[in-house]
């Protein structure tokens, strides 16, 4: 009986110590509904992932995570809910500066910032893709200016376009949210950088 108890305790201790001593990175995904709907377990079965996606969220949600992702590898996909706020180049530049500050404030060891994707939602007008391109350019420029080295810009915008310069609806359910084919593009692109 005593040998059995000792054996059980040693197994439990070994499992506990292995989980505590793990040197594996934690991959935290944060952003709007595009992140919230991403099946991370299916897309990245070999990684330890956490999904902090929240439908309808934007820049202020990212800012709320200051200091909360310390030491993680963070993947960010956000901005589609904020694009209507971009009314000029000056506003885009100011937004981009706040966006990059929010990412750096996570305290992450590495950050992969995915470009804002094109959209063709029923309430969008013809200017949406142009505004998003302006926003993406401003964010990319701000990341480069920060010179921090912790943020990797993943510009996948053009991979989601059709031949008319709008969101390829074969990659989306509704002109905004991605279907499995859309997520496969994101997963493949990200795997090129993190694996």
Please check whether residue 12 lies inside any domain of the structure: no
Please check whether residue 87 lies inside any domain of the structure: yes
φ, ψ dihedrals at 103, nearest 5°? -65, -45
pLDDT of 165-175, one tens digit each? 999 999 999 99
Task: Round to whole Å and give the CA distance between 76 and 113.
Answer: 5
How far CA 137 is from CA of 102, 121, 189, in Å, comes to 17, 22, 19
Question: What's the pLDDT score for residue 7?
Answer: 41
Rg (CA), the chain: 20
Question: What's the pLDDT score for residue 195?
Answer: 77
Please check whether residue 11 lies inside any domain of the structure: no
CATH number for the domain including 181? Answer: 3.40.50.1110
Length of the chain: 195
Please check whether residue 120 lies inside any domain of the structure: yes
Please check whether residue 7 lies inside any domain of the structure: no
Q: Structure tokens of 183?
A: 């997520």
Question: What's the pLDDT score for residue 60?
Answer: 98
Overall average pLDDT of the 158-186 stretch = 96
Instruction: Give the three-class secondary structure for 48.
Output: strand
pLDDT of 30-68, one tens digit each? 999 999 999 999 999 999 999 999 999 999 999 999 999
Count of domains for the chain: 1
pLDDT of 12 higher than 90: no
């Amino acid at each position: 009986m005593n040998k059995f108890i000792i054996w059980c305790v040693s197994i439990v201790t070994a499992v506990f110590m292995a989980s505590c001593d793990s040197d594996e990175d934690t991959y935290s995904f944060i952003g709007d509904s595009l992140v919230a709907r991403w099946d991370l377990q299916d897309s990245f079965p070999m990684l330890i992932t956490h999904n902090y996606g929240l439908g309808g969220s934007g820049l202020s949600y990212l800012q709320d995570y200051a200091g909360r992702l310390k030491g993680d590898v963070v993947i960010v996909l956000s901005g589609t809910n904020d694009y209507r706020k971009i009314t000029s180049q000056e506003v885009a530049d100011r937004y981009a500066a706040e966006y990059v500050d929010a990412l750096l404030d996570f305290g992450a060891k590495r950050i992969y910032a995915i470009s804002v994707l094109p959209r063709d939602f029923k309430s969008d007008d013809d200017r949406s893709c142009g505004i998003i391109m302006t926003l993406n350019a401003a964010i990319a420029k701000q990341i480069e200016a920060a010179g921090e080295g912790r943020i990797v810009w993943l510009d996948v915008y053009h991979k989601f376009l059709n031949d008319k310069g709008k969101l390829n609806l074969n990659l989306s359910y509704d002109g905004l949210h991605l279907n499995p084919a859309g997520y496969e593009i994101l997963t493949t692109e990200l795997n090129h950088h993190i694996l």
